Amino acid sequence: MINQENKISKHLRVLVVDDNDVDLRMLEAMLTENEAGPCFFRCATSLADAMESLTEQDFDVVVLDLNLPDSQGEQTLIELNKKFPLITIVVNTGAYEDEVGVISLRLGAQDFLNKGKYNSYTLNKSLLYAIERKRLELELKMAYDNLKDLQSQLVQAEKMRVVGVLASGIAHEVKNPLATILYGITYLSEKFDKNKEDIRIVFESMLEAINRANNIITDLLNFSGLTRLNKKMEDLKDVLEKAISLVRHELDKHHIKLIKIFDSNIPKIEIDSARIEQVMVNLLINAIFAMPDGGEVVVTSQIFILSTEDLKKMPELNQNIFYLGQTIIMIHVDDKGCGIPDNEIDKIFEPFFTTRRSRGGVGLGLAVSKNIMDIHGGQIFISNKKEGGVRATLVFSVNSNKGDEYGKKTNSYC
Ligand SMILES: Nc1ncnc2c1ncn2[C@@H]1O[C@H](COP(=O)(O)OP(=O)(O)O)[C@@H](O)[C@H]1O
Ligand SMILES: [Mg+2]
């Protein structure tokens, strides 16, 4: 195993990979007369052997000969680095070629040693410096990855902003003509003979089409105009119950059983209840859509203090918002439906992404829900469950102060 923390221990744990007996013994002698204390030393005589040792045990550094019975030259380094990207590697070869040295560094080694050109002192110094360089390299890589993530989040946010502006412009433009058409149809329908079946059907389908268009426009305006909230201290349980009652008819129609598992210890929190209700309705409707022939939806609410274990278990949780020791409320909507294909799961929060266009889907439900959760300082995430179906999760913080008193008192929810 790799020493992931990459701490420099006083007694270095060195894996020497070399098939030459004399070289091995020389290295052992140099490493064990280390002034800072003897190194823990283990040798491997082939690449396969080295990989096995690294899998079994922690090492600080690998001293690697590139020419081994089962692998030669740069390939040895490439293979080892690919399988163990976190380990510090110092190349140690007989070839006196600076070019090999430069190439080794480019391929991920931290230093290059020429056999016979170093002593115990320089060897140990090289290993220590190599370990430190690797640690810095990993830190830098982590910072770079974080920066890249942040950049793509910013790009995404800007994209959403542009879509929002466009959507609201179009929605405003379309809303008035729609109202005129609706008014005209209502007026005309009075003039025609309602007893004629074909005329009645035409008017009904026109009204249905206008209603659908109107709903899309309302969704669009919701999506783009969510800047002001009407926040009050509200009981989430009431909001969940209200959302459930709004979809009750659809649940019954599709023979879907709804199970509620509500934690009675959840305190009131500051939310815009109409918006959160809208989010819940979106999630429930999605669950119903996913189970057209019946099934089961479970709505769970819970409150607990975030532990290290929770953070590990939920990689989706945004750790810029939620932190260790914070008290959070989680709402889950679990279904037993068709699930979301892997190649689609990254797109489901994009506005207008839908796989249900033919069944009336517009693809704004989750985009709107994400916006609502964002402006509540919360989070929404959705994942497929191992046993099939989807779990949609809403997360709210109970108290955004780090010294969270409520959390301290309610350890039992963990
Ligand atoms: N519970 C779910 N089960 C399966 N797929 C889902 C579920 N929830 C969302 N999806 C997928 O995400 C897409 C986007 O959802 P949404 O934004 O609510 O738009 P819409 O419901 O109008 O399609 C859906 O078309 C569907 O492909
Ligand atoms: Mg939907």
Number of separate domains in the chain? 3
Stretch 148-167: mean pLDDT: 77
Q: What is the pLDDT of residue 227?
A: 52
Any atom of ligand 1 within 6 Å of the Cβ of 256: no
Domain residue limits at 398:
232-413
Nearest residue (CA) to ligand 1, atom 4? 339
Residue 4: inside a domain, yes or no? Answer: no
Q: Do residues 180 and 101 both lie within one domain?
A: no
> CA-based angle 323:325:330, to the nearest 5?
70
pLDDT band of 175, cuts 50, 70, 90: confident
Atom in ligand 1 nearest the alpha carbon of residue 364? 17
Any atom of ligand 1 within 6 Å of the Cβ of 340: yes
CA 137 / ligand 2 centre spacing (Å): 44
Using only C-alpha atoms, what is the Rg of the chain? 31
Residue 183: inside a domain, yes or no? Answer: yes
pLDDT of 253 over the 90 cut: yes
Q: What does the mean pLDDT of the chain come to? A: 86
| Residues with Cβ within 8 Å of residue 261, at least 6 apart in sequence | 298, 299, 300, 301
Q: Do residues 125 and 166 both lie within one domain?
A: no
Whole-angstrom distance, CA of residue 133 vs CA of residue 138: 9
Q: Do residues 132 and 182 both lie within one domain?
A: no
Q: Do residues 171 and 51 both lie within one domain?
A: no
- Mutating to test ligand 1, I would choose from 256, 282, 289 the residue with most ligand atoms within 8 A of its C-beta, which is 289
Any atom of ligand 1 within 6 Å of the Cβ of 302: no
Q: What is the pLDDT of residue 347?
A: 93
Q: Do residues 119 and 243 both lie within one domain?
A: no
Atom in ligand 1 nearest the alpha carbon of residue 290? 3
* Domain end residue (candidates: 143, 163, 190): 143
Beta carbons within 10 angstroms of residue 241's beta carbon: 16
Whole-angstrom distance, CA of residue 358 vs CA of residue 345: 19
Residue 403: inside a domain, yes or no? Answer: yes
Q: What is the pLDDT of residue 4?
A: 40
Residue 114: inside a domain, yes or no? Answer: yes
Atom in ligand 1 nearest the alpha carbon of residue 357? 23
- Tens of pLDDT, residue by residue over 268-288, are 999 999 889 999 999 999 999
Any atom of ligand 1 within 6 Å of the Cβ of 199: no
Q: Do residues 262 and 219 both lie within one domain?
A: no
Residue 117: inside a domain, yes or no? Answer: yes
- Tens of pLDDT, residue by residue over 89-143, are 999 987 666 678 888 999 999 999 988 888 888 898 899 999 999 999 999 999 9
Q: What is the pLDDT of residue 124?
A: 87
* Domain end residue (candidates: 224, 246, 275): 224
In this predicted model, which residue has the larger pLDDT, 96 or 12?
12
pLDDT of 409 over the 50 cut: no
- Helical segments of 107-196, H only: 120-191
Residue 1: inside a domain, yes or no? Answer: no
Any atom of ligand 1 within 6 Å of the Cβ of 363: yes
Q: Do residues 212 and 306 both lie within one domain?
A: no
CA distances from 6 to 53, 109, 130, 137 (A): 17, 15, 11, 11
List beta partners, residue 44: 17
Q: Do residues 196 and 247 both lie within one domain?
A: no
What are phi and psi for residue 188, nearest 5 degrees? -65, -35
pLDDT band of 9, cuts 50, 70, 90: very low
Helix then strand then coil, in percent of the chain rounded to 5, is 50, 20, 35
Atom in ligand 1 nearest the alpha carbon of residue 362? 22
Residue 34: inside a domain, yes or no? Answer: yes
pLDDT band of 250, cuts 50, 70, 90: very high
- Tens of pLDDT, residue by residue over 354-406, are 998 887 788 889 988 998 898 899 999 999 999 999 999 999 999 644 434 44
In this predicted model, which residue has the larger pLDDT, 196 or 36?
196
Locate 6 and state its tokens: 């990459």
> CA-based angle 308:349:396, to the nearest 5?
40
In this predicted model, which residue has the larger pLDDT, 287 or 39?
287
In this predicted model, which residue has the larger pLDDT, 37 or 221?
221
Whole-angstrom distance, CA of residue 11 vs CA of residue 29: 15
CA 390 / ligand 1 centre spacing (Å): 10
Q: Do residues 182 and 251 both lie within one domain?
A: no
Strand order in the sheet with 379-384: 256-262, 295-305, 327-334, 390-397, 379-384
Q: Do residues 164 and 67 both lie within one domain?
A: no
pLDDT of 144 over the 80 cut: yes
Q: Do residues 210 and 246 both lie within one domain?
A: no
Residue 8: inside a domain, yes or no? Answer: no
CA 364 / ligand 2 centre spacing (Å): 7
- Tens of pLDDT, residue by residue over 314-344, are 999 998 899 999 999 999 999 999 999 999 9
Q: What is the pLDDT of residue 410?
A: 36
CA distances from 344 to 350, 355, 381, 384 (A): 10, 9, 14, 11
95 neighbors 76 (Cβ within 8 angstroms): no
Atom in ligand 1 nearest the alpha carbon of residue 353? 14
Any atom of ligand 1 within 6 Å of the Cβ of 365: yes
What is the CATH number for 17?
3.40.50.2300
Quote the distance between the C-alpha of residue 26 and its chain's center. 49
**Nearest ligand to the CA atom of 367:** 1
Lowest mean pLDDT segment, chosen from 220-224, 251-255, 343-347, 356-360: 220-224
Locate 190 and state its tokens: 């009075």
Stretch 59-65: mean pLDDT: 94
Q: What is the pLDDT of residue 228?
A: 64
Q: Do residues 240 and 257 both lie within one domain?
A: yes
- Percent of the chain exceeding pLDDT 70 equals 90
What is the CATH number for 214?
1.10.287
Whole-angstrom distance, CA of residue 22 vs CA of residue 324: 52
* Domain end residue (candidates: 122, 143, 164): 143
pLDDT of 190 over the 70 cut: yes
Locate 53 and state its tokens: 């040792």
Q: What is the pLDDT of residue 270?
A: 94
Any atom of ligand 1 within 6 Å of the Cβ of 354: yes
